[in-house]
């Protein structure tokens, strides 16, 4: 990074950067309203479905005695997976001094916060008696992976929020100093409170850097455990298909794939909607494409281990389960997820031609859909094989199919996640202004200047 | 033409007859008329009855009560026509070789035991005057008590005679059992004396519950209609060993059984993370303070 010496030039560039990056906050048009309308409508329908479910009990879902974890848990695993990208991009890449990833950090953090918050809500969706939620804590058993998961999810959510907030403080000061009439009063007031009266002296920056570093290091073990513990919910049982020692790394690798795809999609949406072509540049998409290949290959490697080794041995129960997945009723879903959702994207993204913004985004959409169905395959087929041979049970116990209420509530979770992301984007710049400006060579001293009102 | 038709009818008849025959229990001709080597007398009938109660009653039920098991085909009652239509030789052959659910007893009972059984069954043949006539069960009453320190069960039994007077039940066997999960376990039998009382010392090696408590059950034999007496549990047995069902090293997901290392790991990890979070929050407060200056 070359320092820009002339103050004139610095100020001009900073003005432009602030102008571009606050466009998401200022912009208010029909499309925004329409988008909010769609989101809130779906959320309303989902909440209505949830009301029916609370009133009539979990019998309104497709879950029965055998398949007692259905679409909700698959969806939960998906959201936990997606949230993991926050730790990959804003911490790991940051600590490794990968500079291209810096503008993406806040997008990754947005995804992480929205996804992990919803993961928590989905668990409550899955409860027949959500009014007993507190019992998880009052009567929690320390040897239960479920309690570990609840603890870790909450810890991760807190760290993600802090990691979102810390680099935001100087930005909030910039907004407080520079914005005015174009924003409603409550927003300005919020900026002024949240910016903690930021002055921008060296001491304060030092604390920010230090605290961020601490969080970035802390989020590595917490991030790894959030998804490892989620995998233990399955791996700690003796069930065919779940009883596997590589579940932890397998889940973590899969999570990176889903998360990277989600971030790419969001980046493209911002780039298009808020005219941030110069910020989310082609190179970012190309690099994210490469990252997707890398984590995809990692995930593929774990998939080979997870399916080939037991498939080679075909132990009794495991064999029944695997045949059901490979050639049985889940074969179509399984193979399209593996081929369309993983192998093909890896191959395509190896070529420079496909690493352009639009094509990376399209591929990411397919990957993300595949990732969702992959969780479905991890959770449900295993449960369709009960431990003991059972006779004379109702036919709907044998196979699981989600009901419309389940689908409504699952759609709700997607819409609620998008709503959180949208609100974050409407309140705060989607790229860290001060980090970006500094990267471009602008000295810190210009950040705290009040521009002359023209 | 008619001749041919006749032939057909005959053929059909033969075939269907074969069908019926194959359902029946055939006894080879030479076995049908084998003579019973044991004499038909009261002693032999009684011996047969003893074996019957031990080996056959569980399926065939009590003679004349038609209370056999509901099997297909059903085990016929001893007094039934199906049973009594058999010759001695046939009975012997059938109980020796068995059929379907009916076990073959030639490997279980000696030849003479089986002939005693034939005598017992013959006792109920309508054409023969029975040697063993069972009186209807007598209404009796039974009381019992147990001394926990000496392990002695004291029994006293009586009945009402025809005139309606109370009388002692003398020279009558009383069964002493111990209550178990799936029925009563017989531990002994005593005869009542001329006062209608008897006492029985329980063996030392009766196994009780976890603390050694045993429930003794006292009852009269088949000839009496009397309620069995179940005594209050007494501490007279050996405490039952309770095997440790949870093996060490298995994670048992209750807070009482959680291994220390797991609890400490959990609390350590979560506590460490939240302390660090607290530290970061303090840094944020510091920023705020620096601004205020």
Q: pLDDT digits over A394-409, tens only?
A: 777 888 999 999 999 9
Q: Which range marks the domain in which residue B203 is found? A: 138-235
Q: Name residues 33-52 of chain A within 8 A of B (Cβ).
A: none
In a domain, residue B152? The reply is yes
**Rounded percentage of chain A residues whose pLDDT exceeds 90:** 58
Residue A105 confidence (pLDDT) above 80: yes
CA distance A302 to chain B (A): 27
| Model pLDDT, residue B14 | 54
Residue B126 confidence (pLDDT) above 70: yes
Chain B neighbors of A218, CB-CB under 8 A: 273, 276-277
Q: Name residues 128-147 of chain A within 8 A of B (Cβ).
A: 141-144
User: A213 CB near a chain B CB, below 8 Å?
Assistant: no
Residue in B closest to A199 by C-alpha: B291
Q: Check whether residue B165 and residue B228 sit in a common domain.
A: yes
**Whole-angstrom distance, CA of residue A242 vs CA of residue A234:** 5
pTM: predicted TM-score of the whole model, two decimal places: 0.68
Mean of pLDDT values over A63-69: 88
Of A142, A158, A204, the CB nearest to B258: A142
| Model pLDDT, residue A410 | 95
Number of domains in chain B: 3
Q: Check whether residue B194 and residue B262 sit in a common domain.
A: no
Exposure string for A147-184, b = 16+ CB within 10 A, e = fewer: bbbbbbbebbbbbbebbbbbbbbbbbbbbbbbbeeebe
In a domain, residue B282? The reply is yes
In a domain, residue B266? The reply is yes
Of B252, B266, B276, the CB nearest to A148: B266
**Class for the domain spanning A7-383+400-443:** mainly alpha
CATH number at residue B204: 2.60.40
**Whole-angstrom distance, CA of residue A84 vs CA of residue A257:** 10
Report ipTM (2 d.p.). Answer: 0.89
Residue A320 confidence (pLDDT) above 70: yes
Report domain extents, chain A: 7-383+400-443
In a domain, residue B157? The reply is yes
Q: pLDDT digits over B153-182, tens only?
A: 999 998 888 787 888 888 888 999 999 988
User: A439 CB near a chain B CB, below 8 Å?
Assistant: no
In a domain, residue B148? The reply is yes
Of A208, A214, A222, the CB nearest to B279: A214
| Model pLDDT, residue A348 | 95
| Model pLDDT, residue B156 | 92
Residue B22 confidence (pLDDT) above 50: no
Under an 8 A CB cutoff, do A142 and B288 touch? no
In a domain, residue B199? The reply is yes
Q: Check whether residue B48 and residue B80 sit in a common domain.
A: yes
Q: pLDDT digits over A128-166, tens only?
A: 899 998 888 888 888 888 889 989 999 999 999 999 999
Is the CA virtual torsion A314, A317, A320, A324 positive or negative?
A: negative
CATH number at residue B107: 1.10.760.10
Under an 8 A CB cutoff, do B266 and A201 touch? no
In a domain, residue B51? The reply is yes
Q: Do the strands B166-168 and B173-180 form a parallel or antiparallel pair, or are they unpaired?
A: unpaired
Whether residue A351 has a cis bond before it, omega within 30° of 0:
no
- Which pLDDT band, with edges at 50, 70 and 90, does A61 fall under? very high
Query: Chain-wide mean pLDDT for chain A?
Result: 89
Of B262, B267, B270, the CB nearest to A155: B270
User: A207 CB near a chain B CB, below 8 Å?
Assistant: yes
In a domain, residue B103? The reply is yes
Under an 8 A CB cutoff, do A211 and B288 touch? no
Residue A260 confidence (pLDDT) above 90: yes
Q: pLDDT digits over B190-220, tens only?
A: 999 989 999 999 998 899 998 999 999 999 8
């Amino acid at each position: 990074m070359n320092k820009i010496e002339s103050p004139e030039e610095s100020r001009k560039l900073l003005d432009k950067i602030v102008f571009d990056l606050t466009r998401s906050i200022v912009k208010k048009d029909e499309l925004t309203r329409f988008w909010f309308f769609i989101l809130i409508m779906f959320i309303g329908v989902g909440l209505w479905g949830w009301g029916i479910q609370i009133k009539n009990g979990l019998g309104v879902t497709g879950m029965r005695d055998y398949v007692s974890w259905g679409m909700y848990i698959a969806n939960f695993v998906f959201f936990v997976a997606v949230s993991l990208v926050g730790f990959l991009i804003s911490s790991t890449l940051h600590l490794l001094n990968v500079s291209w990833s810096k503008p993406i950090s806040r997008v990754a953090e947005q995804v992480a916060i929205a996804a992990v918050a919803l993961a928590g809500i989905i668990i409550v969706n899955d409860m027949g008696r959500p009014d007993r939620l507190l019992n998880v804590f009052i009567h929690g058993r320390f040897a239960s992976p479920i309690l570990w998961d609840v603890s870790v999810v909450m810890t991760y959510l807190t760290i993600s929020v802090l990691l979102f907030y810390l680099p935001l403080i100087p930005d909030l000061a910039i907004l407080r100093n520079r914005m005015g009439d174009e924003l409603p009063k409550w927003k300005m007031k919020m900026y002024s409170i949240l910016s903690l009266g930021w002055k921008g002296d060296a001491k304060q920056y030092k604390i920010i850097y230090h605290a961020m570093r601490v969080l970035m290091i802390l989020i590595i073990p917490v991030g790894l455990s959030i998804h490892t513990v989620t995998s233990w919910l399955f791996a700690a049982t003796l069930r065919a298909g779940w009883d596997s020692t590589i579940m932890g790394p397998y889940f973590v690798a899969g999570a990176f794939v889903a998360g990277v795809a989600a971030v790419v999609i969001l980046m493209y949406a911002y780039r298009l909607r808020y005219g941030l072509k110069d910020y989310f540049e082609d190179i970012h998409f190309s690099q994210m494409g490469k990252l997707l290949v890398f984590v995809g290959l990692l995930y593929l490697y774990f998939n080979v281990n997870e399916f080939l080794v037991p498939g080679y041995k075909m132990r009794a129960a495991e064999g029944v389960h695997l045949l059901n997945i490979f050639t049985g009723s889940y074969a179509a879903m399984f193979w399209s997820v593996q081929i369309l959702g993983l192998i093909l994207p890896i191959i395509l993204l190896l070529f420079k031609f496909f690493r352009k913004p639009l094509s990376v985004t399209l591929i990411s959409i397919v990957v993300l859909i595949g990732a969702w169905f992959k969780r479905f395959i991890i959770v449900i087929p295993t449960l369709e094989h009960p431990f003991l041979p059972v006779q004379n049970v109702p036919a709907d116990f044998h196979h699981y199919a989600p009901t419309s209420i389940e689908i409504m509530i699952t759609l709700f979770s997607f819409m609620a996640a998008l709503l959180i992301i949208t609100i974050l984007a409407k309140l705060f710049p989607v790229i860290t202004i001060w980090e970006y400006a500094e990267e471009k060579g602008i000295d810190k001293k210009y950040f705290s200047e009040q521009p002359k009102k023209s | 033409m008619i001749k041919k038709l006749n032939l057909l009818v005959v053929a059909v008849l033969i075939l269907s007859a074969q069908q019926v025959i194959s359902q029946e229990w055939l006894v080879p001709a030479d076995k049908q008329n084998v003579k019973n080597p044991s004499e038909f007398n009261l002693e032999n009938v009684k011996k047969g009855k003893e074996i019957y109660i031990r080996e056959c009653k569980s399926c065939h039920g009590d003679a004349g009560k038609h209370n056999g098991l509901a099997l297909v085909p059903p085990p016929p009652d001893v007094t039934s026509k199906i049973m009594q239509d058999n010759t001695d030789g046939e009975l012997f052959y059938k109980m020796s070789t068995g059929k379907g659910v009916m076990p073959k007893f030639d490997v279980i009972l000696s030849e003479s035991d089986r002939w005693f059984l034939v005598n017992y069954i013959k006792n109920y043949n309508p054409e023969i005057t029975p040697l063993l006539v069972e009186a209807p069960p007598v209404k009796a009453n039974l009381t019992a008590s147990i001394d926990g320190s000496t392990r002695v069960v004291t029994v006293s039994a009586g009945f009402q005679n025809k005139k309606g007077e109370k009388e002692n039940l003398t020279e009558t066997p009383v069964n002493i059992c111990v209550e178990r999960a799936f029925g009563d376990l017989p531990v002994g039998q005593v005869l009542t004396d001329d006062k209608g009382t008897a006492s029985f010392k329980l063996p030392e090696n009766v196994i009780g519950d976890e603390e050694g408590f045993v429930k003794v059950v006292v009852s009269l034999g088949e000839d009496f209609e009397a309620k069995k007496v179940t005594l209050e549990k007494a501490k007279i047995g050996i405490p039952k060993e309770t095997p440790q069902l949870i093996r060490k090293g298995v994670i048992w997901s209750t807070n009482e059984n959680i291994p220390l290392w797991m609890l400490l790991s959990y609390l350590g990890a979560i506590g460490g993370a939240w302390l660090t979070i607290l530290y970061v929050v303090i840094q944020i407060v510091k920023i705020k303070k620096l601004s205020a200056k």
